[in-house]
Amino acid sequence: MQALVLEEKGVLALRDIDLPQTVGPDDVKIAIHTVGVCGSDVHYYTHGAIGPYVLRAPMVLGHEAAGTIVAVGENVRSLAVGDRVCMEPGIPDLSSRASKLGLYNVDPAVRFWATPPVHGILAPYAVHPAAFTYRLPDSVSFAEGAMVEPFAIGMQAATRARIVPGDVAAVIGAGPIGIMVALAALAGGCSRVLISDFSAEKLAIAAAYPGIEAVNLKETTFAAAVDTATRGWGADVVFEASGSAKAFEGLFNLVRPGGAAVLVGLPVDAVRFDVAGAISREVRIETVFRYANVFDRALELIASGKVDLKPLITGTYAFKDSIAAFDRAVEARPTDVKLQILVAEEG
Ligand SMILES: [Zn+2]
């Protein structure tokens, strides 16, 4: 079957490859409809590795997907052929110690689509455990279904933050994940979310949502903006979504006494950390690695209309043009948030 294969760093091919198609008793088989292009897919393309995960053999890309079930295993009761679904790309060992604690995202044995050596799903069909496959409500499109995976990271961040209604949040970084975090923070009860970036274009996309206020770092510091917005008290929750080492300088000055700092962005190297700044305010520090138990909630929010991810889809490509989609993603246009690939023929 045809798939988008990353042959080696910098070399993509749309070609035939053998992918396992055996439907186990607890699995479903999905005809893939829409797949989002993720920053991690692009990073494997341009760098051939992310931290300890190194591409050593050709790998199919893609992990943000929605589609239609075409076969179900004999034990599957929750889903049926014809159901429209989206998929959680990580498959943990359900009997592992982490899974038993409800922390299956940090199960060391997790197999995650398009993380070497595991193939992704930029292909016409995928087989996946029913337990990590979620039915789309009728009002949720395939395009929105493929946005659930990146939004789930925002959901996990908002969950870890333990938001209280009326909280003021500050998000560092208006990239795709920063915007997802801001939307999840609002949905979680924040009264207002300040978001900072150096890109006016990215900020404009974020601030088009009611409740999100843009802070352009070319014009002011985030500390000054948070100070003004909270009359010197600080934000209840600060989300670091840039992964930039510079963001950690003065990070805790943004947090109110007793507030929380939630680390979402992944810095490439070790960063300096102002321990005294955190201790003097008794800042609660939380970290976010992917997500666990949030896909159902994300789908409920999208179906209810409380979260609208459609404006964030800024380009859609046909499957045959997948490589062009990736080359555009490499350009990292500031006006692009999410590019998607339509794998299904009929669209
Ligand atoms: Zn992703």
Q: How far is the CA of 94 from the centre of ligand 1 (A)?
A: 22
Determine the distance separating the centroid of ligand 1 and the alpha carbon of 132, expressed in angstroms. 16
pTM of the predicted protein model = 0.96
Burial of 193 (0-12, 13-18, 19+ CB in 10 A): buried
Taking CA atoms, 284 is separated from 51, 275, 342, in Å, by 27, 12, 42
Single-letter amino acid, residue 62: G
Q: Which residues of 23-35 are buried (b: 16+ CB within 10 A; e: fewer)?
A: beeebbbbebbbb
Angle between helices 200-207 and 176-187 (to 10 degrees): 20
Question: Residue 86 C-alpha to ligand 1 middle, in angstroms?
Answer: 13
Pairwise CA distance, residues 195 & 175, whole Å: 10
* Separation of CA 216 and ligand 1 centre (Å): 26
SS3 string, 281-301, reads HCCEEEECCCCCCCHHHHHHH
232 C-alpha to center of ligand 1: Å? 36
Separation of CA 111 and ligand 1 centre (Å): 14
Q: Are strands 235-240 and 168-172 parallel, antiparallel or unpaired?
A: parallel
pLDDT in tens, 199-252: 999 999 999 999 999 999 999 999 999 999 999 999 999 999 999 999 999 999
Whether 347 has a pLDDT exceeding 60, the answer reads no
Q: What is the pLDDT of residue 107?
A: 96
Ligand 1 centroid–CA 177 distance in Å is 9
Distance 247 CA to ligand 1 centre (A): 22
| 38 Cα to the center of ligand 1, angstroms | 4
